[in-house]
A and B are shown apart, each in its own frame.
Chain A
């Protein structure tokens, strides 16, 4: 292995990619895409206005139906806002009548005819057992149901309080929900922050890391395949060793990714300085941006390096083993199986970053980059855990490089038939 050869190869990889339009387009568009991916569902949920036409049948005889209809149609601040956004009801009171069964089937017909969205039946038994019936075609509208449930609860409890001789208005005033004003405690001091901002930051960093590792891993695979399919590989293999070529390729592409990350981090730092941010758009009052300490950024780069070398060696092996992107794509799924699980556990990990689940996942090398990113961004883990996770990662990378060099050396000259896993294993053993 002669480092200068790897350097020449790395320089080529870096310059060719940095000169391509694709790099700059991706640099500009990826943050937009990511913001849309992360903020989109959140905004959509908070802006969504569900509407439901509701029939209320009150058989309690306590006038609850009327109060509920009033409570559902009123749009007092705070009353119509559930966690998941605003739900508007259009309520109509239906008298119970002498034949409940006939009324039920009539209401069902009206729902099927789309005259009604749903109907609610309030009974004395229900009042006693704290349970009312809700009939609708769609029962997955959990947000709407939750809004309805909370408003019925409020109406019922106010009615009970009044029945007990208490002043409902006073009680409403006294039982208002309390908010938490959140303050982050860290080594560098305490600072007021909003929980949701910290969540977004950790989510964004983790998701960004995921995208960059995946995209550049795939680029390594495509680069190897390009050299194979254009048959330039043997020309190069006659001048320098395959390991030098592999090392140069990984280094060059890694530098491209670091350049892109640096551009993003730099742009984010500049854009979030109060002066520029204020000039660009007005933030909602009371929104506090999470503070990103330098240590988190340092770990972001470190975790990127670990993740890149873990996955790019895997991708290089896959690229060297096959003849075309189509063939390789099937195996590329293997890499995704390793990188995706942390994304599925984002919420539990962020909710308790020191839980046994979070700690053990962060110590599994292939999960370390993403899970550690989540933990570090939310709450700095104990130093020993970081050291242990990074060391395990480095050991795994050493193993991956060893394995990859062997598969690569043989694979790059193999054309024709798609190799089986068993054959690839033979390459490892005999090279």
Chain B
């Protein structure tokens, strides 16, 4: 499968601060690619460089398997994290303007816009000014503005942040539809859950570096066999002891409700990622010395564990 989007040793600095360091990444055509990383990892800078809003200091960005051309922007759709609309314009004028700057003629754009407005239940709102719309409605208009020129590559920066549940559903539906049509989607998020549900491929970046990338299924398969679920009444202090054990790579507790360490220990459910070659029987023996273990079982790792491990390995 050819990569429809490829970054080769792309680097971006702001003064002494390295925002993106020698990043190489290939996004195959027709997949949903999740660019994951904590805030400040360089995701937005990377996406802005892909959209040619920022110029990389060095490296190369290839689109559709060749060097970028100015007209490529018209074949791409971009939803920035900081987004907005002209408040004083009507919905229709606004969308016509966005269509025009993406190379569509008004005549072509009008039926497309009307179809979209009907699809998202805004058919009667075309002549209203954007500022008269509710926030949820504005989000729909923004979404239409991103896709109405039928982009082949869709670049979305934190698309789910700030969306209401209805629009989140709408968005997911659209992404899956686009994948079915063979379009390529690259989106950034710091929410692992969304990525896990939607992505075929992921790339994890931390401090401007790619720490892990590939097909999600494959990444999970490689990481499985090392992940366990521990359920036991435990205080915060107990959890610290768990983390300090030599076999443990990462321990993430999902529901300790009393972090101060209450007298009456609460039941904790902890996900454990073991170090390669660690012995489970040895681990269990040590746990039993200070915990009343109620459950200890093998489990498929989720993205968060993998991510934390990858970041730690890279450091």
Contact = CB atoms under 8 A, between A and B. Distances in A.
Interface string B129-166: 00000000000001001100000000100000000000
A5 interface: yes
B73 to A, nearest CB: 6
A238 B80 contact: yes
Interface string A4-29: 01001100100110001000000000
B82 A8 contact: no
Interface stretch (A112-120, A194-202, A229-237): A229-237
A5 B145 CA distance: 17
Interface residues of A, number: 23
Given A8-B101, A16-B88, A239-B102, A234 B82 contact: yes
A423 B94 CA distance: 34
Contact of B70 (A2, A226, A235): A2
Interface in A170-184: none
Interface string A216-238: 00000000001100111111111
Nearest to A248: B101
Interface string B186-228: 0000000000000000000000000000000000000000000
Contacts of A415: 82
A8 B53 contact: no
Contacts of A239: 73-74, 78, 98, 101-102
Interface string B111-144: 0000000000000000000000000000000100
B53 A235 contact: no
Contact of B89 (A5, A16, A231): A16
B100 interface: yes
B88 A238 contact: no
B51 interface: yes
Interface in B74-115: 74, 76, 78-80, 82-89, 93, 97-98, 100-102
Interface residues on chain B, size class: 20 to 34
A227 B87 CA distance: 10
Given A8-B100, A16-B88, A239-B73, A231 B82 contact: yes
Contacts of B87: 230
Nearest to A242: B53
A177 to B, nearest CB: 60
A234 B100 contact: no
B70 A230 contact: no
A20 B88 CA distance: 9
Contacts of B80: 231, 234-235, 238
Contacts of B83: 231-232, 234-235
Main secondary structure of the interface of A (DSSP, over half): helix
A106 B34 CA distance: 97
B98 A235 contact: yes
Contacts of B53: 234, 237-238, 413
A30 interface: no
A238 B51 contact: yes
Given A238-B51, A413-B53, A232 B86 contact: yes
A239 B71 CA distance: 9
Interface string B14-54: 00000000000000000000000000000000001001011
A232 B51 contact: no
Contacts of B89: 12, 16
B70 A232 contact: no
Nearest to A9: B101
B214 to A, nearest CB: 28
Contacts of A8: 97, 100-101
Interface in A237-270: 237-240
Contacts of B155: 238
Contacts, number: 66
A163 to B, nearest CB: 80
Contacts of B54: 413
Interface in A330-375: none
Contacts of B51: 237-238
A231 B84 contact: yes
Contacts of B78: 235, 238-239
A345 to B, nearest CB: 40
A431 B89 CA distance: 32
Which among B74, B79, B86 has the highest number of chain A CB atoms within 10 Å?
Answer: B86
Contacts of A5: 101
A2 B86 CA distance: 23
A161 to B, nearest CB: 76
A359 B241 CA distance: 86
Interface string B221-265: 000000000000000000000000000000000000000000000
Contacts of B97: 8, 12
B84 A235 contact: yes
Most buried by A among B97, B101, B102: B101
Interface string A278-308: 0000000000000000000000000000000
Interface string A138-158: 000000000000000000000
Contacts of B76: 238
A38 to B, nearest CB: 33
Nearest to A413: B53
Nearest to A240: B101
Nearest to A415: B82
Nearest to A245: B101
Nearest to B86: A232
A237 B83 CA distance: 11
Nearest to A231: B84
B102 A230 contact: no
A235 B145 contact: yes
A235 B85 CA distance: 8
A20 B48 CA distance: 34
Contacts of B73: 238-240
A231 B85 CA distance: 7
Nearest to B89: A16
A184 B164 CA distance: 73
Interface string B47-77: 0100101100000000000000010011010
A81 B232 CA distance: 106
Interface of B: 48, 51, 53-54, 70, 73-74, 76, 78-80, 82-89, 93, 97-98, 100-102, 142, 145-146, 155
Query: When A and B form their complex, which 3 residue pairs have the shortest distance between CB atoms, in order from nearest?
Result: A231-B84, A238-B78, A234-B80
Given A12-B93, A240-B101, 10 more contacts: A230-B86, A230-B87, A231-B83, A232-B83, A235-B83, A238-B78, A239-B102, A240-B73, A413-B48, A413-B53
8 contacts: A232-B84, A232-B85, A232-B86, A234-B53, A237-B51, A237-B53, A239-B102, A415-B82
